[in-house]
């Protein structure tokens, strides 16, 4: 994926950073504020943080979504559900 970021662990706060659709970000943050958040550093950028208290299913969902945004279109098309 040639340098395209899709996920990273961070500390202070402990969380997973994932890529997201910038237009969907406010809706995601509002609807899943139990596990999703942002810090001032990520305000205005298409990234959000997932709490390490999130379930594995939630983490998996957001990691896959993040990967799909960063992956080459042809490769992502092979994984996207029809």
Contact call for residues 46 and 7 (beta carbons, < 8 A): no
* Confidence band of 2 (pLDDT split at 50, 70, 90): low
- pTM, entire model: 0.84
DSSP 8-state symbol, 57: H
Does the pLDDT value for residue 44 go beyond 90?
yes
Give every strand in the sheet of 7-10, ordered side by side: 7-10, 15-19, 47-51, 36-37
| Percent of the chain whose pLDDT exceeds 70 | 91
Place of tokens 């959000």: 48
pLDDT tens digits, one per residue of 19-29: 999 999 999 99
The model's confidence at residue 41, banded by pLDDT at 50, 70 and 90, is: very high
Backbone angle region of 21, left / alpha / beta, with phi > 0 → left and psi within -120 to 50 → alpha? beta
């Amino acid at each position: 994926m040639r340098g395209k970021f899709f996920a990273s662990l961070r500390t202070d706060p402990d969380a997973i950073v994932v890529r997201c659709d910038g237009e969907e970000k406010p809706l995601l943050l509002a609807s899943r504020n139990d596990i999703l958040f942002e810090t001032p550093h990520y305000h205005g950028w298409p990234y959000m943080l997932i709490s390490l208290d999130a379930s594995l299913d939630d983490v998996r969902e957001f990691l896959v979504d993040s990967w799909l945004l960063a992956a080459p279109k042809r490769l992502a098309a092979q994984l996207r559900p029809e």
